[in-house]
Amino acid sequence: MQDYAVDSTFIISLWRSRKITDEGAKRDLIISRCRNGLRLCQDIESTVVKERGMAQRYFMNQYKATLSAQMCGFRENRAIDMWIKQYTEDNRGNLMRYITLLFRGGSQQGKTQKAKSLFGDAHTLLVNCQGLGSFLPNLTKLNDPDEKFKCITYDEIVPKQVLENKQVFQAGNELVALGQSNCNQHKYEIWPYGIAMVCCSNNFPMTVGEGLDSEEDAEWLQSNVAVVELEDANTWYIASHTKKKAVYHIRYVPKPKVAPEACAGA
């Protein structure tokens, strides 16, 4: 008997009709050594990644509705009401720059959720700043014509990221280049004018006494950043008591230290 190579069109048609798995289709394309086999494998991988991303976004939106139902709104704050007045339509084209808002406080206060609620989830770009040093996370989604972002919420941000990207956080009427390097292969530009800049952080020093390096940094932050805080026991969201709380989350409490003399006496 003689074996014949399987045509790539037949393999792809089986894959498209979901009669063979993604890995099975790639394996058959390689084994058959068909023309354009590697390119077809790459097409399968790209399709799978995009399909998985679409499914994740679908379920994420489903769970957002369920999780939002557990909250009964957010606490009002006079400082936030004053800050948000910058973004009225009358001010657009009249203000040269804008003030950044900072939610500062302990974990599980609902800072990020409150920040997203100011302009709505659909109009807020949430980015994670943790572990980036002085660099900002990728903001290229601002250039997506299908998105209508009014606010960027920077989660887990640190002062250095603000101080070394002042043009971004002032939201002035200039194009700002980001992602720059020696060869600039990742450089891109954004137009931040009139976009609300909202920061969330557990620990964001605003003075030299709190940990800043210089009085100049402290002066700039205090002139350009509005800080709102809650007491540790409070939350920005108003919890619904009709929902059962998780019983498996036990807050860590450090044990008291025992003096060496007490151990010796025992």
For 162: left if phi > 0, alpha if psi spans -120 to 50, otherwise beta; the answer is alpha
Domain ranges of the chain: 8-66, 74-233
Outline where the chain has alpha helix (H). 8-16, 22-32, 37-68, 78-84, 111-117, 159-163, 166-170, 215-224, 260-265
The residues near 57 (Cβ < 8 Å, ≥ 6 apart) are: none
Instruction: Report whether pLDDT(184) > 60.
Output: yes
State the chain's mean pLDDT as an integer: 86
pLDDT at residue 241, rounded to an integer: 47
pTM metric for this prediction: 0.71
pLDDT one-digit tens code per residue, 208-256: 999 999 999 999 999 999 999 987 668 888 865 445 555 555 666 777 7
| Residue 20 CB neighbours (<10 A) | 17
Q: In this model, does residue 64 exceed pLDDT 90?
A: no
Non-local (6+) Cβ contacts of 165 within 8 A are 134, 136, 178
**In the chain, what percentage of residues exceed pLDDT 70?**
86
Average pLDDT value for residue range 160-182: 92
Strands 196-201 and 188-190, how do they pair?
unpaired
Give, in words, the CATH class of 74-233: alpha beta
Mean pLDDT of the region 118-131 = 93
Q: Is the pLDDT of residue 194 over 60?
A: yes
Average pLDDT of the segment spanning 155-161: 96
Rounded-to-integer distance, Cα 217 and Cα 166, Å: 11
